[in-house]
């Protein structure tokens, strides 16, 4: 049991850290707070990296046949990782897989840059459970762009997403 002084500081840690402060997400967008609403790791991976890739492909690097073949194979490999792994296997438990297949699907799906297995499945189970409500992390009632893209660019307050049990995915 920590002393009362230490306990006071432990209680204050979440208030000091802006990482767990989601109050800005409920405020109107302004010139001074807009950047606090974005998940900048996701923005880097989903906006800046593709732009940089297209820029470099257009200006600096001649396309080679082996790169084109690798890109197509990588696209289908990572896509299969999402559909067969993140979606069917880990979110819906539609089938069972041994450790070797799980390892291959883990490599494939994480290559698609759609977050961790736990994060993806938690959101997807909430999506199915609370489809098109305020508790759906990517509900279609907020529009096509929101449900397919924008929701990933903005920080997510975990308390606003509907509860979904992913405890079996936690080591
Ligand atoms: Zn599903």
* 92-121 pLDDT tens trace: 999 999 999 999 999 999 999 888 999 999
Residue 93 — left, alpha, or beta (φ > 0 → left; ψ -120 to 50 → alpha)? left
Split into its structural domains, the chain has a count of: 2
Distance 19 CA to ligand 1 centre (A): 29
End-to-end CA distance of the chain: 27
The DSSP symbol for 154 reads B
What pTM does this model have? 0.80
* β-bridge mates for residue 38, sequence order: 154
Identify whether 45 is part of a domain.
Answer: no
Identify whether 56 is part of a domain.
Answer: no
The DSSP symbol for 133 reads S
Same structural domain, 68 and 110? yes
Distance 57 CA to ligand 1 centre (A): 34
Identify whether 12 is part of a domain.
Answer: no
Same structural domain, 101 and 125? no
Q: Which domain holds residue 148?
A: 115-166
| Cα–Cα distance list, 49 to 29, 37, 119 (Å) | 25, 20, 21
pLDDT, tens only, 62-82: 889 999 999 999 999 999 999
Same structural domain, 110 and 123? no
Distance 147 CA to ligand 1 centre (A): 14
Same structural domain, 141 and 158? yes
């Amino acid at each position: 049991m920590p002393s009362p002084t230490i306990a006071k500081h432990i209680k204050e840690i979440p208030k000091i850290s802006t990482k767990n402060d989601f109050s800005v997400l409920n405020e109107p967008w302004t010139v001074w707070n807009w950047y606090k609403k974005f998940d900048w790791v996701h923005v880097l991976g989903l906006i800046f990296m593709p732009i940089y890739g297209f820029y470099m492909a257009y200006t600096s690097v001649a396309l080679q046949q082996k790169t084109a073949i690798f890109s197509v194979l990588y696209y289908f490999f990572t896509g299969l990782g999402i559909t067969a792994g993140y979606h069917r296997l880990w979110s819906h438990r539609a089938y069972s897989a041994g450790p070797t297949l799980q390892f291959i699907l883990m490599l494939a799906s994480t290559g698609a840059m759609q977050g961790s297995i736990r994060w993806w499945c938690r959101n997807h189970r909430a999506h199915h459970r609370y489809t098109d409500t305020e508790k759906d992390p990517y509900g279609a009632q907020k529009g096509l762009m929101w449900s397919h893209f924008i929701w990933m660019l903005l920080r997510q307050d975990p308390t606003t997403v509907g509860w979904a049990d992913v405890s079996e995915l936690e080591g």
